[in-house]
Amino acid sequence: MADSYGSNHDRNSKQDLLVRSKRGWVLSTIELEEEKDAQYPIEISQMYNDKIEGKAFRFLLSGEGVPDVFTVNENTGAIYAHRKVDREQKPLYHINFDVLDRNTGEKLDKELAFDVEIQDINDNPPKFSLPEITVDVKENIQARVLPVTLVATDIDKENTPNSEFDITMVSQSPAVPKIAVQQDEGVARLVLKGCFDYDKAKKYKIILQAKDRGTKPKTLSSTAVVNLNIVDANTHQPRFKERQYYGKAIEMETSDNILRVAVEDKDTPNTDGWRAKYSIIAGNEEGTYKIETDPETNEGVLSIVKSKRYEHTTLVNLQIGVKNVEDLFVCPSLFDSTSIILHMIDGNDTDNVYLKEEEEPGKVLFKPKVHDVDSNNTRYVLLDDPADWVAIDKKTGEITSTKKLDRESEFVDDKNVYKVLIAAIDDGKPPATSTYTVKIHLADINDNTPKLVNNSAVICGNKVNRVKVRAKDLDADPYSGPFYFSLGDDEILKQQWKIEPEYGVDAFLFSLKTLPYLNYSIPLVIMDQQNKAGHDTLELMVCECEENDVCKEPPSISFGPADIGALTARLLIFLSLLIVFLCVKKKIKNVQQHEGMYNQEEGSSSCKAESTCLQSPTDSIVVADAGDNAGAHALNSDSLPFWWMTFSQRSISRVDLNTVIV
């Protein structure tokens, strides 16, 4: 009988035994890991046959991979692999095994056969069939799935984590509208979540990643780039004149025409491309309201068609959409919308107050209705007014605004509510007290301009030529972002810098030229959705960076006592020369005026100016005569200031007037 047993090098791997049955030899399989790191050759199996006892024999291998990859020790039956193997090139080797008489060469047993199965490792990433594609997409595309298809494959073993992969989006620029990825059996498709706007963005760059699920030795991935060119289309549409409307109604009452909304449309009036078709897109889940078009004015008329009771005075927020009667060549979801805030009044509850932020102070916001059967004398106290915005009348309890209320204040909660706590106290003994919370709901107005999140930035001039800028606006939608970025009207500035993309929450500022390592102040204009502009300045430092993107330290400059003394001496020399020049210039002017008068009186007499000189106690500073005949006159040192005499003693002996003038 003959059999096979596992190698000592890989006891945990699968090793099927070769066994003899009455029907003959049974095929066995040996497993070998691809790309195995080892000191080759390595033993992968051991063969044995019971008919070799007492005989001169030798083992013989033949078949695939013999002897280039696999050999056998003809004396012992040990099978060796001599190099790494690649499963993706050949996943299985079929090998024949014989036992021969060493003298006669006859077979001592029937020929056996076995397979060496190469075990997969994760050594291949999933790859896209096209690493980069460019596709034209109409701005008014109707389908949600874009005409973009990418196919990825992984040549590792099928139906294992090594060949299974996920396709995800790494980046999208610009980021709006959102584009998602759908994957189905290695095929990726792009799905549009919003609508394209050719005026805001004409090109999109999308980077996709295919990443396998293998863990040995690690997950592997590759990327593909999708370039979208947006093709312009006719997208004129009606737009609301106001971004928010306010109205009031009484609960449990139906009413027609409680509020009107208006739109602007650039199409031809009184055509189906101009006529507005309104709809309530949110806030009318119970069918309480309806909106219809006035055929004469093209306005939307809001009505209450079903009565409803509210537990408290309630703020109802309706979202209203509009499009034309005639379908536009635009994305189906691309229509304008506005909001209507209705104050549904409950006569028995006055704990909610509604007003716009930044209204002028002095407005009565709230008046309590308190009935005390035990007392007719009640006083009111303001218990909590966090921002100090209101005052209370102690006798009536009226709450009046004393300052403008700001929705963006830290004292207003995330629901735009400012809370005031008051107490009503009677004159009983002991006095009874009840508290009341007044919730002031603040509607947003566009009272803030966009600003940079960070006003300073650094560009590593030896690595990149751009820096990311991000904007914020304290207002809420639709008075905030996404924003429009620009460099204003400065044409010189536009020759040095550009901003891309121009629309979004953030953008990149690119340098168009190589920049010296200096500090730059770059004025930016940032506009919100309502075209309200904010002006901000980016303080930009351009420097040479080290490996960790930190600016290199400039060489230090230090001044010793000798350096400071030399600088001081030179400064004093300059000041002294300046004083001499001014004095001489004044003297010459006076003399010229005097000589001029003399010449007028005397005719042809020559013009001479008296020379001027300064003298110190030890040295004289001589100035050349301004006239034809040179001379020198000393200025009494008593008329010189002390600092001048000290300085002249140390450093100056003579100054030429011509030199001073030059």
pLDDT in tens, 300-347: 999 999 887 765 446 788 899 888 886 665 554 445 667 777 655 443
Please check whether residue 403 lies inside any domain of the structure. Answer: yes
pLDDT at 612 over 70: no
Domain boundary among 345, 377, 394: 345
Of residues 199, 200, 260, 269, the one with CA closest to residue 238: 269
* 329 vs 425 pLDDT, higher one: 425
Please check whether residue 552 lies inside any domain of the structure. Answer: no
Q: Average pLDDT in the 590-613 region?
A: 42
Strand, coil or helix: what is 57?
A: strand
Whether 9 and 112 map to the same domain: the answer is yes
**What is residue 652's predicted lDDT score, i.e. its pLDDT?**
36
Q: Average pLDDT in the 136-151 region?
A: 86
Give me the count of residues in the chain: 662
User: pTM (2 decimals)?
Assistant: 0.36
Whether 279 and 329 map to the same domain: the answer is yes
Whether 18 and 103 map to the same domain: the answer is yes
pLDDT tens readout for residues 367-405? 887 555 445 678 899 988 999 999 999 988 899 999 999
Q: Average pLDDT in the 126-152 region?
A: 90
Exposed/middle/buried for residue 169 (C-beta within 10 Å: 0-12, 13-18, 19+): middle
pLDDT tens readout for residues 239-289? 888 888 888 777 677 888 889 999 988 767 887 778 889 999 888 888 889
pLDDT at 570 over 50: yes
Say how many domains are in the chain.
Answer: 6
Residue 122 CB contacts under 8 Å (≥ 6 apart), including other chains: 156, 161, 162, 212, 214, 215, 216, 217, 218, 219, 220
**What is residue 246's predicted lDDT score, i.e. its pLDDT?**
83
For residue 272, what is the domain's CATH number?
A: 2.60.40.60
Task: Please state, in angstroms and rounded to a whole number, the distance separating the CA atoms of residues 451 and 480.
Answer: 11
Token pair, residue 124, equals: 């291949």
Whether 269 and 378 map to the same domain: the answer is no
Please check whether residue 47 lies inside any domain of the structure. Answer: yes
**What is residue 15's predicted lDDT score, i.e. its pLDDT?**
39
pLDDT at 170 over 70: yes
Which structural domain, as residue segments, surrounds residue 137? 127-231
Least confident range from 405-419, 447-461, 632-646: namely 632-646
Whether 114 and 15 map to the same domain: the answer is yes
pLDDT bucket at 450, cuts 50 / 70 / 90: very high
**What is residue 603's predicted lDDT score, i.e. its pLDDT?**
41
Whether 427 and 514 map to the same domain: the answer is no
* 327 vs 464 pLDDT, higher one: 464
Least confident range from 141-145, 157-161, 579-583, 631-635: namely 631-635
Whether 507 and 489 map to the same domain: the answer is yes
Domain boundary among 231, 261, 279: 231
pLDDT at 515 over 70: yes
Tell me the residue type at 529. Q
Exposed/middle/buried for residue 165 (C-beta within 10 Å: 0-12, 13-18, 19+): buried
Task: Please state, in angstroms and rounded to a whole number, the distance separating the CA atoms of residues 78 and 80.
Answer: 7
Average per-residue pLDDT for the chain:
78
Q: Average pLDDT in the 475-481 region?
A: 87
**What is residue 598's predicted lDDT score, i.e. its pLDDT?**
39
Please check whether residue 555 lies inside any domain of the structure. Answer: no
Residue 610 CB contacts under 8 Å (≥ 6 apart), including other chains: 587, 591, 625, 633
**What is residue 204's predicted lDDT score, i.e. its pLDDT?**
96
**What is residue 587's predicted lDDT score, i.e. its pLDDT?**
61
pLDDT at 610 over 90: no
Please check whether residue 560 lies inside any domain of the structure. Answer: no
**What is residue 597's predicted lDDT score, i.e. its pLDDT?**
43
Phi, psi at residue 21, to the nearest 5°?
-115, 175
Please check whether residue 558 lies inside any domain of the structure. Answer: no
pLDDT at 619 over 60: no
Please check whether residue 559 lies inside any domain of the structure. Answer: no
Whether 336 and 244 map to the same domain: the answer is yes
- Across 75-89, 560-574, 635-649, the highest mean pLDDT is recorded for 75-89
Phi, psi at residue 278, to the nearest 5°?
-95, 155
Whether 460 and 487 map to the same domain: the answer is yes
Q: What is the dihedral of CA 268, 269, 272, 276, to 10 degrees?
A: 120
Domain boundary among 543, 558, 578: 543
Whether 204 and 143 map to the same domain: the answer is yes
Least confident range from 170-174, 570-574, 648-652: namely 648-652
**What is residue 140's predicted lDDT score, i.e. its pLDDT?**
75
Whether 380 and 457 map to the same domain: the answer is no
In angstroms, the first-to-last Cα distance of the chain is: 120
**What is residue 586's predicted lDDT score, i.e. its pLDDT?**
66
To the nearest whole percent, how much of the chain has pLDDT over 70?
Answer: 74
pLDDT at 14 over 50: no
Residue 269 CB contacts under 8 Å (≥ 6 apart), including other chains: none
Q: Average pLDDT in the 178-206 region?
A: 90
pLDDT bucket at 478, cuts 50 / 70 / 90: confident
Token pair, residue 283, equals: 């806030």
Whether 464 and 434 map to the same domain: the answer is no
Of residues 515, 492, 497, 518, the one with CA closest to residue 507: 497
Token pair, residue 435, equals: 């508290």
pLDDT at 205 over 90: yes
Please check whether residue 268 lies inside any domain of the structure. Answer: yes
To the nearest whole percent, how much of the chain has pLDDT over 90?
Answer: 36
Q: Average pLDDT in the 551-578 region?
A: 73
* 530 vs 537 pLDDT, higher one: 537
pLDDT bucket at 620, cuts 50 / 70 / 90: very low
pLDDT at 131 over 90: yes
- Across 40-49, 57-66, 341-350, the highest mean pLDDT is recorded for 57-66
Answer for the pair 338, 240: CB distance below 8 angstroms, yes or no: yes
